[in-house]
Structure 1
Amino acid sequence: MKYRINPQNHKELSALGFGCMRFNRDEKEVEKQIIYAIENGVNYFDTAYIYPNSEVILGRVLSKGYRDRVNIATKMPPHAIKKYEDFDKIFLTELERLQTDYIDYYLIHMLPDTTVWNRLIKLGINEWIEDKKKKGQIRNIGFSYHGGRDEFIQLVDIYPWEFCLLQYNYLDENRQAGKEGIKYAASKGLPVMVMEPLRGGKLVTNLPKEAESVWNNAYVKRSPAEWAFRWLWNQPEITVVLSGMNSMEMIKENIKVASETEVNAFTEEDFKLFGKVREILDKTIKVPCTGCNYCMPCPKGVDIPTCFSCYNDMEIEGKLASIGKYVMQTGIKNQPHNASLCVKCKKCESHCPQHIKISEELTQVSKSMEGFYYKPLRFFIKRFMKFDQ
């Protein structure tokens, strides 16, 4: 196993992290998988309060003499915090589930923007974190994120975080927080943990035949999954890549790859292969947006790159999943950023290097992603997750 150094505390973290959201249904098999991963060098396990039974299972396995060999990362859901006492209520429940008295890497789960963070500040989260850190119950504090680059950078700057977790893969290089967000966080000294390296398996199971052909005919035989992981581990800014491993075969393959990769090891030929695959995938998208953000800010608040990213994902992830992501990323924040806010002023279009007819495309996004369900769904999620306070 290769290890990367956390620049905050200079400790070694395994390049491969074990994502615990999608455990196998057979708990005995899960125990075998976790122990095998630990014995072969994996020392970072990522779970969350809202992952069904995940913390309990992980805690049960680690209590058998493995706790001190690993780093546990788990998360607090902001929507469940209504008063100061809720911080402890959730945290102490997590400690009990995990059968531990401290958390190595604690995250604010799916922190969407500074508005939600400011709500948590009013409820006393700064004082609560300070207390837990002083007692040694939280070793490192961070946040997980799904959304655009600009808001990610704002969140990085709003608090002295000690790490962050975000979606990133070769398809999302210029989407969501993207490469610029990764580099920005790393420049601030934050360890960067990456989730969705395979887009939930879509970069393996949903690839067009042309893209599969590129990998099959490459100069070296590697699976699409291995190529995707190697692309991530080639980047020095990335500390840990999480994989939701639920079979021994997958665990063994990922550990093998993680044990072989080096930073900045890609050749020009490697980059050309990814260029070919992206070119093929780009043909499936509806709007040729590169996420450069030159169109921003929109005077009406539309998050143009994020709207196009969710719209384009319909071809890979399907309409239902893309709409869900669209609502989460553009509709539930204190100030909505959805496509139908566009008034067709076209100020953005003069700045677009791709010469996209942005106002016309946003109309199509609105028609496809904002059906009769959009406003009720947005209202429900905002109220449930307290994003409107």
Structure 2
Amino acid sequence: MKYRRFGKTNLDLSVFSLGTMRPLGSEEGFGQIVLRAVERGINHIETARGYGKSEVYLGRTLRQLDRESVYLTTKLPPTADAKMMAGWIDESLFRLGVKRIDCLAIHGVNTWEHLEWVQGDLGCMQAVQGAIASGKVDHVGFSTHGSLELIQSTLETGLFEFVNLHYYWSFQRHAPLLAIADQLDMGVFIISPADKGGRLYAPPATLKALCEPFSPLELSYRFLLADPRITTLSIGPATVAELGPFLEMDDYPLTAAEQQVLSRLDHHMSDRLGPTQCHQCYQCLPCPEEINIPEVLRLRNLALAYDLVEYGKYRYGMFENAGHWFPGNKASRCTECGDCLPRCPSQLNIPELLGETHKLLKGKQGRRLWED
């Protein structure tokens, strides 16, 4: 296992962190995953108030470990009520059975209103800073599913020491944020690259063939670990077996062979989609019908280029069902008003592509595993 400095926290974290959103079956199974992960060298475990019984299960498992051998992160949602946040911190300490939380993350600074709550004189950061002063919390950061602009503004508040960020080879919109976080000496924790990055634990045959001689999951992890600005990647195994062989992966720069495969993926998408490829410039926004046009068309790109249709259905099904965690309306809401057309530098027929994507990806409604 490799370890990296987590920004200004100065904690040395394993490059793979155990996320506990998925492994929420039996308490026994949960404990087995945690213990095996620690045996394999993982020293950072992430949980959240919103992850069902995760804090409770983790607290009971920690009794079997040397508390100082692992770093704990738990996440609490943003609130304008400092008293409520203080109560949540105490509840998390009780559930985890610890006197101190190493890293506390504001869970989901996803809207501008959330940022206002964080910055407000009487908001949640007042309680967090009080908890730091009293020794209940060591370090504070935030997770986010928000826009690039919102995340940048949150980084630049100077209130945080680390960020939990969506960034993958299949989603590089947030690349500029890595540079900002690096300038600010903030730790960077990549959220769920296996799942959110394409459900790569069960890749389609097309993507597997394109990634040879590597697996899609291996290539995704290497793409991230080759970037020294990234500290750690979240993995969320549902079984011990899913811990897999990747934990001993090296973090050296991308090899020529890896770069060649990543280039092959790019060229294949360009060849497959031709002039209908969305290049993710985001100039089509805002949409009068609040359709997240770039994300819808990103899912189209991935589905048509790499046969990531099931992943596309999984993510597309969350529109209109996951609130601020996955904002935007479904493409079927398009009224063909044409507002976006003159702003697209690629001159895409956006209404037509939205309709095509809806037909391709519509399916059952999706929700987050846990609701706050």
Label 1:59 to 1:323 Cα distance change in 2 as closer, same or farther (>3 A): same
- Give RMSD over aligned pairs: 3.6
* Alignment deviations for residues 337-374 of structure 1 (CA, whole Å, 9 cap, x no partner): 8875888464x545544332345545767899999x99
Q: Secondary structure in 2 aligned to 1:293?
A: coil
Is the 1:144–1:166 Cα contact (8 Å) retained in structure 2? yes
Deviations 1:249-281 (A, max 9, x none): 332512222xx232xx21333122023234556
Matches of 2:312 and 2:354, distance apart in 1: 19
Corresponding position: 1:266 with 2:263: no
Percent identity reads: 23
**Partner SS for 1:171:** coil
Q: CA 1:139/1:338 → structure 2, altered by over 3 Å: closer, same or farther?
A: farther
Aligned to 2:282: 293
Matched residue type, 1:224: P
Cα drift, residue 307 of structure 1: 4.5
In structure 1, the partner of 2:14 is: 14
Q: Is the 1:48–1:55 contact (alpha carbons within 8 Å) kept by the matching residues of 2?
A: yes
Match of 1:189 in 2: 185
Aligned partner of 2:316 among 318, 322, 328: 322
Alignment match, 2:54: 54
Displacement of 1:244 after TM fit? 0.5
Q: Following superposition of structure 1 onto structure 2, how do residues 357-372 of structure 1 map, counting pairs within 5 Å?
A: 357-358=349-350, 360-361=352-353
Q: How many residues align?
A: 359
1:190-209 aligned at under 5 Å gives the runs 190-200=186-196, 202-207=199-204, 209=205
Match of 1:277 in 2: 265
Pair 1:234 & 2:230 matched? no
Contact 2:55 2:96 (C-alpha < 8 Å) held by counterparts: yes
Work out the CA distance in 2 between the residues paired with 1:163 and 1:343.
Answer: 41
Contact 1:114 1:158 in 2 (8 A): no
Distance change >3 Å, CA 13–CA 144, structure 1 → 2: same
Query: Once structures 1 and 2 are overlaid, which stretch shifts more, 26-35 or 323-332?
Result: 323-332
User: In the aligned structure 2, how far is the partner of 1:253 from the partner of 1:13?
Assistant: 19
Contact 2:111–2:324 (Cα < 8 Å) also in 1: no
Query: Offset of 1:215 from its aligned partner?
Result: 3.1
CA distance in 2, matches of 1:306, 1:214: 23
The unaligned stretches of length 5 or more in structure 1 are 378-383
Residue in 1 that maps onto 2:124: 125
Is 1:95 equivalent to 2:87 in the alignment?
no
Equivalent residue, structure 1, for 2:161: 162
TM-score after normalising by structure 1? 0.78
Q: Distance in 2 between matches of 1:210 and 1:363?
A: 24
Check whether the contact 2:318–2:326 (CA below 8 A) recurs between aligned residues.
no
Q: Deviation of residue 320 (structure 1)?
A: 5.6
Partners of 2:80 and 2:104 in 1: how far apart? Answer: 19
Distance 2:70 2:240 in 1: 19
**Within-5 A mapping of 1:80-159:** 81=79, 83-120=81-118, 121=120, 123-159=122-158
Unaligned runs of 5+ in 2: 304-308
Offset, 1:245:
1.9
Task: For residue 127 of structure 1, give the secondary structure of its aligned residue in structure 2.
Answer: helix
Q: Does 1:179 align with 2:175?
A: yes
Could you tell me how far apart the structure 1 residues matched to 2:247 and 2:275 are? 36
Q: How does 1:38-49 map to 2 (within 5 A)?
A: 38-49=38-49
